[in-house]
Chains A and B, each alone.
Chain A
C-alpha cells in the first residue's frame, strides 16, 4: 500500500476534517486540565474518568428517553458539584503539597471512579444515539457525522463562553489572580480556598460536557478514561498552561497528526507516532530552554 492518501485527494480532506473535529473535542478536555493545573498545580489523572462519568450522565438521560444532546447542559451542572465535592474531600488536602502526592491522590480517585462506574452502570460498552445523520460533501466522497460537527460546535461555544467568563466575572478574575500568585491574591482578600474549589468544579464541568459529547460520537466504558487523560496531558504539555488558543491549536494539531500518521505509517503506529512527537517536542523545548539559560549566564 503505497500511501493511499496521496492517490485519493478526497481522503486528505476527510482525514483533515476528522482530525480537526476530534481535536477540538480533546482540546476542551485539555483546557480543563490546563486550567486547574495552572491554578492549583495539580495534574489530574482522574480527568478521563470525569469525562466518562459525564458521558454516563448523558447516557442515563438517553435511557430515560431524553435526547442525549441535553447532556451538554445537564452533565456539566452535575459534574460541577461532583468536582466541588471532590475538592472538599480530597484535593484540598494535597493542593499545596508535592506534585507527586497530587498525582497519587488523583490516581486513587481514578480507580475509585472506575470501580464505582463499573458497579453502577455495568461493564458493558454502551453508546447513546443522537440520530443526527450525516453531512455529505463532494458528491458523497467525504462524509462527516453530524454528531461530530455538533460536538465541535458545542466545544467551541463553551470554550468561548469560558474565556469571556474568565475575563469579565469576579470569580474569573479571582481565578486568574490566584493562578498568577496565590499568596498575593490571598493577601489582597481573595478567598483562594473557594477559588480552588470553583476551579476544580469548572474543570469537572468541562469534562462533563466532553463526556456527553463522547456518548453520542464514540463509545463509553468504565475503564476507557485513561486515554483521555493521556491525550489531554499531551495537549497541555505542547500548549503550555493558561493559554486557550494554544490549547485549541495543539488539540487540533495532534488530531490532524494522528489521522495522517494512520494513513502514512499504518493504524498500529498512530498512537505511537503521537508519543514520538511528544518526545520530540519535549526534547526540542529543553534544547531551547538550555540555550536561554546560557544566555542568562
Chain B
C-alpha cells in the first residue's frame, strides 16, 4: 500500500515537473509581448514604496507600448510585467524570483523595492544568467560582488550625502569641519555612512560623534544630547523614514542648534507635511527631482512626468517611481540595440548603455551601478505654513540658494 502511494506521488511530481519545464520554453516572448518579471512588496512594511515602484513600472510600460513599443528584428513588441507580492520578505523574494524564472519562464527581470530584497534576488538572477535592471537597491555591496547581470539606474548609497560634506566644507571657507553622525544599523544606512567617512577623509574633517542606531530604536534623545554638548558643524542622520521623522521631532523638541542638518528619506517620510515648519532647513539627499533639466522622448521632462503621474495615480511621484520608470526605458533601449531576445546579447547591450532619460543620464559602471548621474540635495523651505523641497545642489540645477547656517531655535518663530 505504502509503495503504491509513493509511486503515485513520484509520478505526479514527475508529470508536474515535465509540465513546468515544458511551459517555460515559450514564455519569455509571448506573441507580441516581451514578458518581464518582478517580485515587489505590495504588502508588509515596504508596501508604500513597493506600490510607488510598481506604479513607476506600469506608467512606463503603458507609455512605451502606446508610443510604438519595442522594435526588435523589424517587428514591434509590447512590454508586459508579471508581478508577485514578496510581502517585504527577502526569503520570499528569492523564492519568487526562482518561480518567475523557472515556472513562468521569464528571461528579463525588473528589481524589487529596497536594497535588502535586491540583495536576496541578485544571486538568483545571476545563477540563471537573467539580466535584471533594478531601480531601488542602492546599497554599495550590490556593486562589489562582481555581478554580471545586475544593472542599477540609481546612484549607489555611499554617494547620498557625500555632497553634503563638501558643501559644509565649502561654507566653512574650505576648512575641514566637525561632523556628528547617526546611522541606523542596516545595509543601506551603513553604506551612506561609508560615503561620509570617505568624504571626511578627503576633506580632512573630523567625526566627533559616530552613533549607530539599533533598528528597534525610536528614540534619539541620547545622540542629540551629545550633539548639543559637542556643537558640531554638521549633523548627518540616516535611518529610513522612521529615522528622518524621529530626528526632526526630537531636534525641534530638544532645541538642538546645528548649523547644518543633512538627511536621507525626507520625501519618503513626507517630512515637510508631517513636521511642517520644524523640518525647515533640513538638507535632503534625493535621486531625482522634477525640476532637473533632463529630457527624453517618452516622458518629456521631469515636470511633465510629474504632471502625467499625478493625473494617472493622484499623487506627486516620489523618486522611487521616477527611477522605476527609467528602468523600463533602459530595457527598451537595450532590446533595440541588441536587436535580439538572446539573454546574453541583451546583457551585452545593457553594458553599453549610454543614454539620457527624464530621470537622468544612465551609464553603467563595472559593478552595474549608474555612474553618469549625480545625487542632488534639496532643502526644506517654508513660506508661512506650507513647506517645499527646493533643489540647492549641485549648482547646475539649484533653484534656490542653500540657506546656511540654520538659525538658532531661539530665533525661529
Contacts and interface: CB of A to CB of B under 8 A. Distances in A.
Given A122-B48, A123-B44, A125-B242, A263 B222 contact: yes
B218 A218 contact: yes
B43 A118 contact: yes
Given A15-B222, A123-B46, A219-B245, A268 B254 contact: no
Interface in A243-268: 259, 262-263, 266-268
B387 to A, nearest CB: 14
A251 to B, nearest CB: 14
Contacts of B245: 125-127, 219
Q: Which of A10, A219, A227 counts the most chain B CB atoms within 10 A?
A: A219
Interface string B214-225: 101111011101
B102 to A, nearest CB: 29
Interface in B241-281: 241-242, 245-246, 249-250, 253-255, 269-270, 274-276
Contact of B222 (A222, A230, A262, A272): A262
A81 interface: no
Contacts of B44: 118, 123, 223
B218 A219 contact: yes
Counting chain B residues whose Cβ lies within 8 A of the other chain, the interface size class is 35 or more
A267 B218 contact: no
Contacts of B182: 267
B47 A118 contact: yes
Contacts of A126: 245, 274
Contacts of A147: 253
B270 A267 contact: no
A178 to B, nearest CB: 34
B45 A268 contact: no
B250 A125 contact: no
A14 B225 contact: yes
A18 B46 contact: no
B229 interface: yes
B230 interface: yes
A22 interface: yes
Contacts of A123: 44-49
Given A127-B245, A259-B222, A267-B223, A227 B45 contact: no
B45 A221 contact: yes
A195 to B, nearest CB: 34
A223 B255 CA distance: 29
B31 to A, nearest CB: 36
A140 interface: yes
A125 B269 contact: yes
Contact of A270 (B214, B228, B254, B276): B214
A84 B222 CA distance: 38
Given A118-B47, A123-B48, A147-B253, A268 B212 contact: yes
B249 A11 contact: no
A226 to B, nearest CB: 8
A290 interface: no
Contacts of B219: 18, 22, 218
B296 to A, nearest CB: 30
Given A18-B219, A18-B222, A122-B47, 6 more contacts: A22-B219, A143-B228, A223-B44, A267-B182, A270-B214, A271-B216
26 contacts: A4-B226, A4-B229, A4-B230, A11-B225, A11-B226, A118-B47, A119-B43, A122-B47, A123-B44, A124-B241, A124-B269, A125-B245, A125-B269, A127-B275, A134-B253, A147-B253, A218-B246, A218-B249, A219-B242, A221-B45, A223-B44, A266-B212, A267-B212, A267-B223, A271-B214, A271-B217
Interface of B: 43-49, 182, 185, 208-209, 211-214, 216-219, 221-223, 225-226, 228-230, 240-242, 245-246, 249-250, 253-255, 269-270, 274-276
Interface of A: 1, 4, 8, 10-11, 14-15, 18, 22, 115, 118-119, 122-127, 129, 134, 136, 140-141, 143, 145, 147-148, 218-219, 221-224, 226-227, 230, 259, 262-263, 266-268, 270-272
